[in-house]
């Protein structure tokens, strides 16, 4: 287990800014307890990488950096309580007919925000943005035509890129309105709580 390196903090800060408590994050070079068979994953605001750990992702190849960014989005979800993670994980698994890889696919659209997307779609979208900013090849998870992706990423990520902490408080606000809980189609975020319980988010990256 290790803390983030200074380079990793700088790499992540370019996307997440002050929305993360970087000192609280730990990276493990093993799997998480009894979920070791799930491989690389995030849980409880920590990152577990039994297969693709790097001593410093900031100097690693782009393919490793995009995995780091993907998992850091899950940490962002946890620390800011962007989703009800347990419910979102179950929805991602069951909602795609137990084909978890399908949970990463997304279609960008005008008028949609990052928070309109699911547990694995949010990291996949930010990962897509990260790769394109650095000239890397996309992961093939975006269902849009390639020529429209750049503009749509700016649209969907607009609020996140302006203020990565904008999502705090959304789940709490949603829970205060019981009528909205009748539908599980929408996902909303809440106030950051580093001690909040997380749910495992398996990496298929």
Residue-wise DSSP of the chain = -EEPPHHHHHHHHHHHGGGS-GGG-EEESS--GGGGGG-SEEETTEEE-TTT--S-GGGS-HHHHHHHHHHHHHHHHHHTT-S-HHHHHHHHHHTTTT-GGGGG-B---TT--GGGS-TTHHHHHHHHHHHHHTTPPP-S-B-S-HHHHHHHHHHHTHHHHH-TTTTTTHHHHHHT-GGGGG--S--------TTS----EE---
Secondary structure class of 48 (helix, strand, coil): strand
Between CA 160 and CA 16 the distance in angstroms is: 8
Q: Which of 3, 8, 71, 120 is catalytic?
A: 71
Written as six digits, the tokens of 91 are 């929805």
Q: Is 8 a catalytic residue?
A: no
Q: How far is CA 92 from CA 2, 101, 114, 136, 179, in A?
A: 29, 9, 16, 27, 23
Catalytic residues: 71
């Amino acid at each position: 287990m290790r803390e983030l390196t200074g380079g990793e903090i700088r790499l992540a800060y370019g996307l997440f800014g002050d929305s993360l408590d970087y000192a609280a994050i730990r990276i493990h070079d093993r799997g998480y307890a009894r979920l070791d068979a799930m491989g690389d994953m995030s849980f409880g605001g920590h990152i577990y990488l039994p297969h693709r750990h790097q001593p410093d992702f900031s100097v690693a190849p782009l393919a490793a950096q995009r995995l780091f960014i993907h998992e850091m989005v899950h940490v962002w979800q946890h620390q800011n309580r962007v989703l009800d993670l347990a419910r979102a994980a179950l929805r991602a698994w069951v909602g795609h007919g137990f084909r978890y890889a399908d949970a990463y696919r997304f279609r960008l659209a005008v008028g949609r925000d990052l928070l309109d997307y699911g547990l694995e779609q949010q990291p996949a979208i930010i990962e897509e943005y990260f790769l394109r900013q650095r000239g890397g090849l996309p992961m093939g998870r975006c269902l849009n035509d390639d020529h429209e992706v750049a503009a749509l990423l700016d649209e969907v990520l607009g609020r996140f890129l302006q203020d990565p902490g904008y999502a705090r408080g959304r789940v709490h606000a949603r829970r205060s309105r019981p009528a909205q809980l009748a539908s599980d189609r929408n996902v909303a975020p809440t106030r950051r709580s580093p001690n909040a319980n997380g749910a495992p988010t398996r990496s298929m990256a």
